[in-house]
Amino acid sequence: EIRNGEENAKVDYTAIPTAFHKTADDLMGIKDGIRVAVEKAMQNEKMKTELITNVSHDLKTPLTSIINYVDLLQKCDIDDETAQSYLSVLSEKSDRLKHLIEDLVEASKASSGAITVHTVSVSVNEFINQLTGEHSEGLSEKNLTVIVNLPDEDIVVKADSNLLYRALENLIVNVKKYAMEHTRV
């Protein structure tokens, strides 16, 4: 019963010889020790998830204000090209920070098993073609040649379309960041 994860397993001392009572006591001690360790691990995981959620929420509030103010400033008639360039950088970096915070929350949910997955039939070919198209400018800025080698027959998988898209997009983003220039992808 203990081997199968039955945490309420008890030893029936009347059913075993007296010589094995010490071994039975040791088994019960191991079972209790494992239960305590699992409870601590679960408590630590819950605290980590709550910390990430709270910090993420605390970061989102001022970040939302920054994004809104940058948006308002971009709508103003500002002739200074340097100021326009600074606003563009602020907009890009604040959007990136927003996505990083969202990714952090999702990673926390995934590691705790609290993520909701909605599986549907997804065309991998379509995702790859869409992503390479969306990132073609950034890839060519790094002088990366994209080679897509997909079979004629569509690859269809059962997956959460949002999660699969993010995983594939993360691969392309990492390629843009870390691939050596003038190479093939």
Q: How is 72-124 classified by DSSP, letter by letter?
A: HHHHS----HHHHHHHHHHHHHHHHHHHHHHHHHHHHHHHHT-----EEEEEH
Distance CA 52, CA 43 (A): 14
Instruction: Give me the mean pLDDT over the 158-172 stretch.
Output: 90
Distance CA 42, CA 112 (A): 9
Query: For 110-158, what is each residue's pLDDT tens digit?
Result: 777 777 888 999 999 999 999 999 999 999 999 999 999 999 999 999 9
End-to-end CA distance of the chain: 52
* Residue 102 in this model has a pLDDT that exceeds 90: no
Q: Give residue 51's pLDDT band: very low, low, confident or very high (50, 70, 90).
A: confident
Distance CA 8, CA 37 (A): 15
Does pTM top 0.75 for this prediction?
no
Residues 177 and 141: beta-carbon distance below 8 Å: no
